[in-house]
Amino acid sequence: MKGGVQKAANAAFNLAKWVSKFKFNIATFKIKLIVLSIVLFIGIVVILVLGSISIISNIAINGTESNKQGAILESGYAELAPEVLQYRDALLKELKKENKAEYIDILLALMMQESGGKGNDPMQASESKCGRIGCITNPQESIRYGVIHFLRVLEMAKGDIELTLQSYNFGSGFINYTLNNGGKYTYELAVSFSQMMYEKLQHTGDYKCHRPEAIALNACYGDILYVQAVMRYVGGGSVGTADGYYSPLDWTTLRVTSPYGYRNIGAGLEFHYGVDYACTNKVDPVYAVQPGEIMIAGTHSGGVSYGNFVTIKHSSTFYTTYAHLSSVSVKAGDQITGGTKIGVCGATGRVSGPHLHFETKSQLWRGYYDPQPFVNKIVEKYKTE
């Protein structure tokens, strides 16, 4: 394409040079200038058009620089279908049996990706139960075995939710592959594992590429973008009470792991100035409980043990803090509404595992009081409204 642009430029220049050599008398001098201007204009237009086509062609063939560096998938939250939401209570019931209710959002998203909530096996759990497709013919059975399989894979993946999801799609062999290659899920590992398995199994004819990205990489075993596809359905927003209060996490899965007050977690007796709630690392959205101004967002020398955290001023005598976040999605000075997503659950700072440390207080760094009655009141309102 570059050659085409150069040829067009040369042709325009030669034509202009040829026209300029003609001997015109004074009466035709203006005509000469007009013709020369027209020729030059046409040449410039041709160069610009061909150049634009070249750029577009390069993007179409090679992708943008950002696309070359990682997974290619449309970003942004996608809604769960009603067919999936109808199974929320059933999924939650099975998770509560194992004391793992905090994974409800990720399992709803997984079901959405697997089946959209349709069919007799919405969790696509037949293979995990009996080694073949189609042996489960009842949605309740699918949910039961789907939850059991997910939690089993989660344990094998040592709690890495991304590794768990990709292994739900690839099979447990991907866990060992990852543990032997750095021990942490990455998109690049998903691609290399898919390439390796496809090379081994391509002759069976059972595996076909369904994504353009996989075709280009010859990575047609499973779905190399499964993690990204599932995560689009996680964390759509929070629902508030009639008087404008919001739960800091999904209220249906709130579980206290460490209450407010004195405790001993191995370093002697200390006072815990907030409440810790169980949550899924890098998955569960964290929400502002009321409107306010962001005072701190990220790390801060005054709260080193908090890791990434957010503190919000709701009024002159009411502040809240949300600590140990894996990521923060607001900045200091922002004016936000209640229910705004301010970050994602994590395990940054001084922690033994992922959780949300939530504080209520009357001043920025003092005046702490037990947040649990405040949150419990919000939950009770959710239940009755």
Give the pLDDT confidence score for residue 47 in this predicted structure.
47
Pull the structure tokens for residue 168: 């739900």
Give the pLDDT confidence score for residue 17 in this predicted structure.
54
Give the pLDDT confidence score for residue 289 in this predicted structure.
95
Give the pLDDT confidence score for residue 31 in this predicted structure.
58
Cross-strand pairs, 328: 343
Burial class of residue 78 (count of CB atoms within 10 Å of its CB; 0-12, 13-18, 19+): middle
Kindly report whether the global pTM for this prediction surpasses the value 0.95: no
Give the pLDDT confidence score for residue 67 in this predicted structure.
31
The alpha carbon torsion through 86, 88, 233, 196 (nearest 10 deg) reads -110
Using alpha carbons, list the distances in angstroms from residue 85 to 94, 233, 234, 293: 15, 12, 13, 34
Residues of the chain with pLDDT under 50: 1-2, 5, 18-19, 22-27, 46-47, 49-75
* Nearest-angstrom CA–CA distance, 193 and 113: 21
Residues 366-374: contacts with CB within 8 Å, 24+ apart? Answer: 367/317, 367/319, 368/273, 368/274, 369/260, 370/259, 370/260, 370/261, 370/275, 371/260, 371/274, 371/275, 371/320, 372/256, 372/259, 372/260, 372/275, 374/289
Q: 287-314 pLDDT, tens per residue?
A: 999 999 999 999 999 899 999 999 999 9
Give the pLDDT confidence score for residue 55 in this predicted structure.
35
Give the three-class secondary structure for 340.
coil
